[in-house]
Amino acid sequence: MQRLIITGKKNLNGKIIISGSKNASLPILAATILSDKKIILRNVPLVKDVFTMVELLNFIGSKITINKLKKQIIIFPKKKLKSFTAPYRLLKTMRAGILVLGPILSRFKKAKVSLPGGCAIGARPVDLHISVLRQLGANIKIKNGYIVASASKGLKGGQINIPKVSVGATESAILSSVFTSKDTTIKNCAIEPEIINLINFLKSLGVRINIKKRIIKVYKTRESLKETNFEIMFDRIEAGTYMIAGALTAKKLIVDKINPKIIQKEINILKKMGVKIKTEKSKIIIFASNNIKKINVKTSPYPGFPTDLQAQIMVLMLKAKGQSSIQENIFENRFMHVQELNRMGASIQIKKNKAYINGGFELSGAEVMATDLRASVSLVLAGLIAKNQTTINRVYHLDRGYENLEKKLNNCNAKIVRKNA
């Protein structure tokens, strides 16, 4: 098991190129099951979750080549799968593995998928995914830790109502509706940019899809899908993470290869906190501020403030004068990093789904433990501004979603060393 050792109080200075989006790549990789044609994906992030999804697709019968130099994945899906089962050993660390359930069932009329693992940040129940498929006529049972699904006559289409806005359930609904017997209307959808990226990918295959507000209509596909060469969008959570790093401790930090319009909410909040930001066509330039202002933030579905940046913005709040707060409205157990930040000298209290952050306390390096992907990166940010050294254990969480994090930061004057524990 590896750990990171961070020497704090180093001012960042330089440019960080943002990788492709993990959260866009995973559903798009799952969608390749629907096709038997050659697919090329560009700008793919080289992170653990992507490698796990590729391993899963290989296991069920796809033939996949990864070009790490070009950051491309080339997929040659098979006309027949060698397995309809997505096993526990591949899903135990990656919740997104459940996204293969709909495509396998849709194309081959049966599927067996392990109940997933992933970050320990709340129940994240699979009930919504199961509800989506049942509304399309699937027969589903939970047996020995697996979701066993069948649709002997194929999925029927029609109307899907998602009771709670959910990115995963929306993705499942879209992926399950491509080969239904009639057109499908999906209501109360999530509209995250990663979902728009998935829709654009399916359109490049020849699928007809319309979106209006939170309603998505998928027209039944009568013909076989086309070949495609498609670019994955930038990772807006990675971009937001490095923007906050810049706000914490940068002389000048350029966050490049992004679309600032997609992360306007995050930019506006940082500006309200007193961060100096210059926006250009495909980049953002950030300068640290010694006068961070307190703020109250609520996480919510896009276009609101993303839950995946909640832990990171909390570290910036520690530099503010006065008390800030964060209300977590997406996941019920996403303050596990608070205990570790308090060990470093922070003053944060939790009441139900709200955290109160008292600014003005200098952080001191300590040995801390990552509990999930975004919590782990918040500890990295804290380590950057803490005096002395910070040691972060269980950094495998970090590797699931951040490509070359210490290399990118070290190239901008950080001092981060990875060691075997």
Mean pLDDT of 254-271: 98
pLDDT at 120: 45
Residues 271, 167, single domain; the answer is no
Q: Which pLDDT band, with edges at 50, 70 and 90, does 95 fall under?
A: confident
Indicate whether 269 belongs to any domain. Answer: yes
Q: What is the pLDDT of residues 166-200, one digit of tens each?
A: 999 999 999 999 999 999 999 999 999 999 999 99
pLDDT at 76 over 50: yes
Indicate whether 229 belongs to any domain. Answer: no
Angle formed by the axes of helices 373-385 and 336-343, to 10°?
A: 20
Least confident of 9-13, 107-111, 386-390, 415-419: 107-111
Both tokens assigned to 402: 């951040």
Q: Average pLDDT over the chain, rounded to whole?
A: 94
pLDDT at 377: 96
Q: 309 with 238: CB under 8 angstroms? A: no
Print the domain residue range for 271. 2-19+234-420
Residues 276, 200, single domain; the answer is no
Q: Which residue has the higher pLDDT, 404 or 290?
A: 404
Cα–Cα distances in angstroms (integers) from residue 90 to residues 49, 62, 164, 374, in the given order:
10, 15, 27, 21
Residues 58, 31, single domain; the answer is yes
Percent of the chain whose pLDDT exceeds 70 = 98
Residue 275 to residue 98: CA distance in whole angstroms: 39
Residues 15, 28, single domain; the answer is no
pLDDT at 117: 65
> Strand 146-150's sheet: what is its strand order?
85-86, 110-114, 146-150, 139-143
Q: Which pLDDT band, with edges at 50, 70 and 90, does 372 fall under?
A: confident
pLDDT at 119: 45
Return the active site residues. 119
pLDDT at 81 over 90: no
Residues 147, 289, single domain; the answer is no
Terminal-residue alpha carbon distance, the chain: 6
Residues 139, 271, single domain; the answer is no
Q: What is the pLDDT of residues 2-12, one digit of tens each?
A: 999 999 999 99
Indicate whether 227 belongs to any domain. Answer: no
Q: Which pLDDT band, with edges at 50, 70 and 90, does 121 fall under?
A: very low
pLDDT at 77 over 90: no
pLDDT at 29 over 90: yes
| Global confidence as pTM | 0.96
Indicate whether 68 belongs to any domain. Answer: yes
Q: What is the pLDDT of residues 334-360, one digit of tens each?
A: 899 999 999 999 999 999 999 999 999
Domains contained in the chain, number: 2
CATH of residue 304's domain is: 3.65.10.10
Domain boundary among 222, 249, 278: 222
Residues 291, 214, single domain; the answer is no
Residue 279 identity: T
Query: Three-state SS string across the chain, please?
Result: CEEEEEECCCCEEEEEECCECHHHHHHHHHHHHHCCCCEEEECCCCCHHHHHHHHHHHHHCCEEEEECCCCEEEEECCCCCCCCEECHHHHCCCHHHHHHHHHHHHHHCEEEEECCCCCCCCCCCCHHHHHHHHHCCCEEEEECCEEEEECCCCCCCEEEECCCCCHHHHHHHHHHCCCCCCCEEEECCCCCHHHHHHHHHHHHHCCCEEEECCEEEECCCCCCCCCEEEECCECHHHHHHHHHHHHHHEEEEEEECCCHHHHHHHHHHHHHCCCEEEECCCEEEEECCCCCECCEEEECCCCCECHHHHHHHHHHHCCCECEEEEECCCCCCCCHHHHHHHHCCCEEEEECCEEEEECCCCCECCEEECCCHHHHHHHHHHHHHCECEEEEECCHHHHCCCCCHHHHHHCCCCEEEEEEC
Domain boundary among 163, 195, 222: 222
Residue 163 identity: P
Q: Which pLDDT band, with edges at 50, 70 and 90, does 222 fall under?
A: confident
Q: Which pLDDT band, with edges at 50, 70 and 90, does 371 fall under?
A: confident
Residues 28, 15, single domain; the answer is no
Q: Which pLDDT band, with edges at 50, 70 and 90, does 125 fall under?
A: low
Residues 292, 404, single domain; the answer is yes
Residues 156, 190, single domain; the answer is yes
Residues 120, 185, single domain; the answer is yes
Q: What is the pLDDT of residues 382-398, one digit of tens each?
A: 999 999 999 999 999 89
Domain boundary among 222, 251, 285: 222
Residues 177, 288, single domain; the answer is no
